[in-house]
Chains A and B, each alone.
Chain A
Amino acid sequence: MALISIPLPAHRSIQFNFSSLNGTIRLLSNRRVQLALMILVPILLLTVFRPFLPIPGPLETNLRAMTKPPSFVHLFGTDRMGRDILSRTLAGVQISMFVGFAVALLSLTVGLVMGTLAGFFGGVIDRVMMTITDIFLAFPSLLLAIGLVSVMGTGMLPVVLAISLSDVPRFIRLQRSLVLSLRSRAYIDAARTVKASQMWLMTRHIVPNTLAPLLVAASIAAANAILVEAGLSFLGLGIMPPAPSLGNLIRDGQTYLEQAWWISTLPGAVILLIAISLHFLSDGIRQVLDPRSRK
């Protein structure tokens, strides 16, 4: 079997070993990845170490500092109950990141399994699954999420499930097309000739080679999930207050837009930064993986 596992040049182009030092260095020396990390790492560090920072807690009210504009004491200002916006934003980032990560992981896993089955076996399984994904793809994503939340109720779990459900069909489609293109490669035929089992072919020869493109799609899905969660919460259909989700913060400030611009705009700018950096990250990973796009 060892002989067959040696990758042929044709499929090495999309193989990428993340555990190897060489791969990590190549990834880290990509300009876009660097830019993404320059934004993401500080935000993540601040979020993780928020409890140790000299700022009030996200739910702590202070009646002596109501609706104060940004200053050195409150970098992002305070809301009408004197809560520190910076602290609330960082707590919101924590929720957003969790939602983004959970959605990416969930839809990647389900998409991987179902897409591999559909692409590898074809036939009836494939047709049934494609019809079902067609039905799900007939809904614009935010609207599907709204519909699902109306059934499952609001809160963290329903929101993650609702957003994942609208992403899963896309992952199934992607994985299916990747598997279809790999299935007819010569090295798979080679493995078949020495009686490699279906399971072996799928898990050892096909799936590992689809992981890289899936990972690119997952980081875009994470960025998208963060935006959709914020949208849902903004409409009052996502994560419920007083939990400081970024969408909730923006919704809170909407009423006071004229008197206190900072309540809505600053948390929104943070969402934008996170979304941009996740896109840079996926762009960078793609550049590293795809030799044609390297200049």
Chain B
Amino acid sequence: MLTYSFKRLVQLFVTVLGVVTLVFFTMRLIPGDPISAMAGDNLSGAALDQMRGQMGLNDPLPVQYLTYLGRLAVLDFGTTVTTKLPIVGLILGALPVTVSIALGTIFLTVLISIPLGTLAAYMAHKGNRMLDNIITGVAMVLDLMPPFWTSLVCLLIFSLTLGWFPASGTVSLDDPAMLLRRIALPVLVLSMAQIATLARITRTSVLEVLNEDYVRTARSMGWSELHVLFRHALKNAALPIVTVIGLSFGNLLNGTVIVEFIFTLPGIGNLLVGGMNSRDYQMVQTLIVFYAMIFVAINFTTDLIYRVFDPRVQF
């Protein structure tokens, strides 16, 4: 186990280094450089040169690359190009909003999709195809609805027509009630897409377990159907479900960018879109690396959980 974790950790490190390298060199491929992009035509050649010198852009590329790596190692992400604010501060300030959306979504998704998927599996097992087909069909449609469209439809129905949730308003951790009301719709929208995937996997893995001998044994011992379903079937089907929750995190991160933009929530997704629109490459570069790191770390954890809890997995 320890050797395996170590091997995976080395692999993780190589991937992260690859991500950083890739992002660094791709950003240097931009025609012109960040300085001329932000300065426009207003500055003379000499002034531009001076600014380049200040930012180290006149050094040879390998030197620039090593300097960049050195800074990353001490978590110095630099400052934004336009406002000169430290990027780490901005990210840390925006992170709580994104994290609350993500956690809320995972909570709601698990709460709805696991009972739903189990029910569908049970119905399919009992030969009732109708309910199973309906649940599976609805799950597919939900899965394919583009989140930005669902957001607008929800905004139209719940905020503008029914007035249940505010469409705007300041969001901060000091006012949890407001925060909850503001993130309710985004969480709902993101959950819709996640519920589909999770319900489908729950259905498949529970259905598989229901055909196992030990479930039949449990039944023949006189356990009630509910007991068999939740204590014997769902428990043994839990592993793939946990894995899928971990793996669907990438999708969730994609989704947070979109909902934060639509519902004007000050999370890191909004920082990214803002950075793109103001051509702040420093910011975009840092955020893309940051997202990739979160994603890789979560995949790593999921993989370890899987191996810790499934004694059948060989090392």
Interface residues of A (CB under 8 A from B): 131-132, 134-135, 138-144, 146-151, 223, 227, 230-231, 234-237, 247, 250, 253-254, 257-258, 261, 264-265, 268-269, 271-272, 275-276, 279
Contact = CB atoms under 8 A, between A and B. Distances in A.
Contact of B276 (A142, A146, A234): A146
Interface in B253-270: 253-254, 257-258, 261-262
A265 B155 CA distance: 11
Q: How big is chain B's contact interface, by range?
A: 35 or more
B153 interface: yes
Given A236-B277, A265-B152, A223 B144 contact: yes
A131 B273 CA distance: 29
B14 interface: yes
A272 B146 contact: yes
B141 interface: yes
A134 B300 CA distance: 12
Contacts of B272: 143, 146
A272 B277 contact: no
B152 A235 contact: no
A141 to B, nearest CB: 7
A264 B141 CA distance: 19
B15 A150 contact: no
Contact of B292 (A131, A139, A250, A279): A139
Contact of B152 (A148, A149, A268): A268
A45 B14 CA distance: 49
7 contacts: A139-B288, A141-B254, A223-B144, A227-B146, A231-B147, A235-B258, A257-B155
Given A138-B19, A141-B254, A142-B257, A147 B146 contact: no
Given A139-B295, A237-B276, A134 B15 contact: yes
Contacts of B11: 134
A141 B153 CA distance: 24
Interface stretch (B24-32, B97-105, B113-121): B24-32
Contacts of B251: 140
B253 A135 contact: no
Contacts of B281: 150
Contacts of B148: 230-231, 234, 247, 250, 268
Given A140-B251, A150-B284, A257-B152, A235 B26 contact: no
A231 B22 contact: no
B156 A268 contact: no
B19 A135 contact: yes
Contacts of B111: none
Given A235-B273, A276-B140, A276-B141, A142 B152 contact: no
Given A268-B149, A276-B144, A257 B284 contact: no
B169 interface: no
B145 interface: yes
A247 B288 CA distance: 22
A236 to B, nearest CB: 7
A276 B141 CA distance: 7
Q: Top 4 nearest A-B pairs by Cβ distance?
A: A268-B149, A135-B18, A140-B250, A142-B254
Given A142-B254, A235-B258, A276-B140, A250 B26 contact: no
Nearest to B275: A150
A254 B15 contact: no
Contacts of A269: 149
Contacts of A139: 19, 288, 291-292, 295
Contacts of B285: 147
A140 B29 contact: no
A80 to B, nearest CB: 16
A132, A146, A250: which has the most chain B beta carbons within 10 Å? Answer: A146
Interface in B222-245: none
Given A235-B273, A276-B140, 6 more contacts: A139-B288, A147-B284, A231-B258, A236-B273, A254-B152, A276-B144
Contacts of A151: 26-27, 29-30
B91 interface: no
Contact of A275 (B144, B257, B273): B144
Interface string B186-199: 00000000000000
